[in-house]
Amino acid sequence: MSDRQSCKSDLSDERWALIEPVVTSWKARHPSVSGHQGNYDMREIINVLLYQSRTGCQWDYLPHDLPPAGAVNYYFYKWRDDGTDRTIHDLLRWQVREKRGRLADPSLVVLDTQSLHAAAGVPAAATGRDANKKVPGRKRGLAVDVLGLVIAVVVLAASVHDNAFGTVLLDKVVADTDTVTKALVDQGFKKTVVDHGKQVGIEVEVVARNPADGGFVPQSRRWIVEQTNGILMLHRWLVRDYEHGTASAESRVYWAISDRMSRVLTGTSTPAWRGA
């Protein structure tokens, strides 16, 4: 850890201890050809990712006492492409579930999508318009367990129908774990998702909204995914989609939830915007 003034988003010693073995192991498997160990501490690299996630700070406006954007980008893309971000996330998720007295992997997931405006620099070819919510940009699909922990995430153009999100999410869930047998979805998901669920061994239940309800009313068992969407909104980088590639947008979600889970495991709170 450097001597710089700490930020509220920085990893504490206890939080760093949870993920340090994964990062140290990765570093040992990827030595420099020249034998150079690098100028930046791995903990500081992750601190930048968490700082940017929480604040929404542009790359060119990062504080000068943090590692530069080029160095952070290098590791972000490496960890995104080889799945290290997902490895850290999954290890933390298993620990949180076991701490709550549950098996490492779930038997039930909840699916949902959320439309987001895209930043001006996001390629038009990777965006679209959500015809239902009238939002131009991208759509983020989540599969979460009953604790609201992310099992799978997919980011596509906002114009893509929820059916496509549902099938991709189910495929990702099956690829990640063989324990899930049921998925709950809202009425935006249609028969296509139900039928695909049968093909991959997951019963898909469409939870119908009570027509007598007015406004937003949390639905039994499905409300947990809305809570997860709310947690993501604490991370200003995720309020709007700034990433050129959808894989990077998905990686950002894993880092944000890893941040949250490391706090849960160490008993530290997440600062709210009002307290920032």
In a domain, 47, yes or no: no
Lowest mean pLDDT among 12-16, 86-90, 133-137, 195-199: 133-137
**Tens of pLDDT, residues 158-200:** 999 999 999 999 999 999 999 999 999 998 899 999 999 999 9
Confidence band of 276 (pLDDT split at 50, 70, 90): very low
Q: Which H helix or E strand runs over 141?
A: strand 135-144
Q: Which of 231, 254, 238 is nearest to 116 (CA)?
A: 238
CATH of the domain at 123: 3.30.420.10
Residue 107 lies in a domain: yes
Q: Which tops the pLDDT comparison, 173 or 274?
A: 173
Given a contact cutoff of 8 angstroms between Cβ atoms, the answer to whether 22 and 58 are in contact is no
Whether 151 is in a domain gets the answer yes
C-alpha closest to that of 158 among 128, 118, 134, 126: 128
Domain encompassing residue 205: 85-210+217-275
Higher pLDDT, 273 or 73: 73
Residue 251 falls within a domain, yes or no?
yes
Q: How much of the chain exceeds pLDDT 70, in percent?
A: 90
Q: What is the pLDDT of residue 261?
A: 97
Number of domains in the chain: 1
Query: Is 172 contained in some domain?
Result: yes
149, 261 Cβ separation under 8 angstroms: yes
Please check whether residue 67 lies inside any domain of the structure.
no
Q: What is the pLDDT of residues 195-222, one digit of tens each?
A: 999 999 999 999 877 665 655 555 567 8
pLDDT tens digits, 80-129? 999 999 999 999 999 999 999 999 999 999 999 999 999 988 999 999 99
Query: Would 177 be classed as within a structural domain?
Result: yes
